[in-house]
Structure formats: C-alpha cells, structure tokens
Amino acid sequence: MPLDLFGYMVAGALVVGGLGMAVVFIVAKDDDAAERPARPSALSARFKRVTPRAWLRVAAGLVAGVVVWQVTGLVVLLLAVPLGVVGLPWLLSGQGPKHNIERLEAMADWTRSLAGILHVGVGLEEALASSIRSTPTAIQPEVARLVARLRARWNTQDAIRAFADDLDDPTGDLIAMNLILASQRRGRGLSDVLESLAATVGDDVRNRRQIEADRAKPRSTARWVTLITITVLAGLALSGTYVDPYRTPLGQVILTVLLGAFVLCLLWFKRIAAGTPTPRILGSRR
C-alpha cells in the first residue's frame, strides 16, 4: 500500500474517531445533566430529542465520507458526504406540512368531541378532563398537560393559555380564546360555538391539503433532480478522469462553491414550497 494512501486512511480514521468521541462526550454529558435537578440547557434538550435512527445516519454519513474520499481523492467530500446524508432528507422532505395538517385535523376532532361532552351539561374543567379519553394522538401530549395543570389547581385561564403555547398554532389560539371566554362567563352555548369552530377548522384542513398537494409537485421535481445529479456525478467520478481537475487546491475550492450553490438552491426551493407561516393570535408567553 502506498505510504500517502496509508496516511490518508489513518487521517480519515482519526477524523471519524474524533467525531465519534465528541458525540459520545456530548451524550454522556447530557446523561449526567439529566441526573441533576438543574434545568437542562436548550442544546442538551435538542440532543436528547435526536433519535437513534438519526445518530445511525450520522455514523453512516461519516463512514461514507471517508470511503468516497479514499476512492475519489476529493478531500472536500470528507465533509460534504456526511452533510448530504444528514441534510438532504430534511431538505427534500415534506413531512413538516403533513404533520401540521394532521395536528389541525386532530384539533378539529378534539374540539368536536369537547363540544359533545359539554352538551351533557358538565362544567368546562370536567369536560376538558373527560376529553383526554377521545383525544387524537397528534395532540394528546398537549391535552394531557392541560388536564394535568387543571388537576394541579392551576387557574383555568392560565392553564388554557399554556395549552395554546404548547399547540403553538393560530388555530390552537382560536380554540383557546373561546375556552378562555367560556371560563370567564360560564354561560351556555359553548358547545354550539365549539361545533361551529370545529367545522371551520375542518374547512381549513381541506384547504391546507389542497395547497400541500400543489406544493408537493415542486418537491418531487427537486428530489428527482437531486437524485439524477448525484447519480451522474458518481458515475463520472468512478469512470474516467472527469474529477481530476477538482483534485487540485483550486479545484477543491471550486467544487466547494458549486456544492454550496446547489445546497442554497435546495434551501431556496424548500422555503418557497413551505410558504409563510400564519402569525399566532395570542402570542407566546415563553
């Protein structure tokens, strides 16, 4: 084995090992912090939300980066490949809007269920506690926290405002405002208002689904363009001298600029497809 190739392999192994030790250190630090009563930082909380599947993707990206670097001799790919393995699924995914639509649909179903409970003539707090049994999965944690606050003797209005912050959605704010008004006036007719509100949210869900169907088309185009681009570049890199100019220092810089421009185009594409979020009505108090 040539000495320079052996040196590259050792360097790649050191890079992967160093990054792996950093991840282990961060995870271990988060575990130690969880044992203490102190409030975890935003960074540690974010690391705790990372799933094992995501960590596996990071590890696979690092290994793939070293392999591609050794095969092509392009040092920039040692970092670009792991970033692509981790970032491309997020850039090309449409799960965020779909998740928001599912939550909207869950809010409509929960509001309709709450209206049915209030028809019986029970109080607002009792109706909220009873609604946990029929709460859709998409918003069950938020409703469970609302019920827990009420059982912990929170003021009803404060508990509902915290519930709106948990939902973090303008439709959730609209539901919370009606519940707050009901808690202040304690009059009848809230069930009718909630049924009308559930119908309005249902119409919003149907409109959002239609908009999302239109936005899915450019996302699908971006996926195909990315897949074709990666396939063509991989074929050219493995069959011929196409990538030889990029192995020079200047070529590495040019390749970095080209890859960065491609990523910026995907970011711009994702931003266009996502649209502008609707501002909240109540506003967050966090």
> pLDDT tens, 199-241?
888 887 788 788 777 777 777 777 888 888 888 877 777 776 7
231-262 per-position pLDDT tens digit: 887 777 777 677 778 878 888 888 888 888 88
What is the C-alpha to C-alpha distance for residues 281 and 165, in angstroms, rounded to an integer? 11
What is the C-alpha to C-alpha distance for residues 31 and 39, in angstroms, rounded to an integer? 13
113-164 per-position pLDDT tens digit: 888 888 877 788 888 888 888 889 989 999 999 999 999 989 989 999 999 9
**Which pLDDT value is given to residue 95?**
65
* Domain residue limits, the chain: 99-210
What is the C-alpha to C-alpha distance for residues 129 and 33, in angstroms, rounded to an integer? 34
More confident residue, 275 or 76: 76
259-278 per-position pLDDT tens digit: 888 888 888 877 776 667 67
Q: How far is CA 9 from CA 85, 92, 105, in A?
A: 21, 32, 52
Q: Has residue 109 got a pLDDT over 70?
A: yes
What is the C-alpha to C-alpha distance for residues 92 and 84, in angstroms, rounded to an integer? 11
Mean pLDDT of all residues in 179-199: 78
Buried b (16+ CB within 10 A) or exposed e, 156-169: beebbbbbbbbbeb
Q: Has residue 45 got a pLDDT over 70?
A: no
Q: Has residue 196 got a pLDDT over 60?
A: yes
What is the C-alpha to C-alpha distance for residues 60 and 81, in angstroms, rounded to an integer? 10
What is the C-alpha to C-alpha distance for residues 101 and 270, in angstroms, rounded to an integer? 18
- In this structure, are residues 60 and 82 in contact, taking their beta carbons and an 8 Å threshold? no
**Which pLDDT value is given to residue 127?**
86
What confidence category does residue 98 fall into, taking pLDDT thresholds of 50, 70 and 90? Answer: confident
- Please count the CA atoms within 13 angstroms of the CA of 70 that sit on its side-chain side: 18
Mean pLDDT of all residues in 82-98: 75
Q: Has residue 176 got a pLDDT over 70?
A: yes
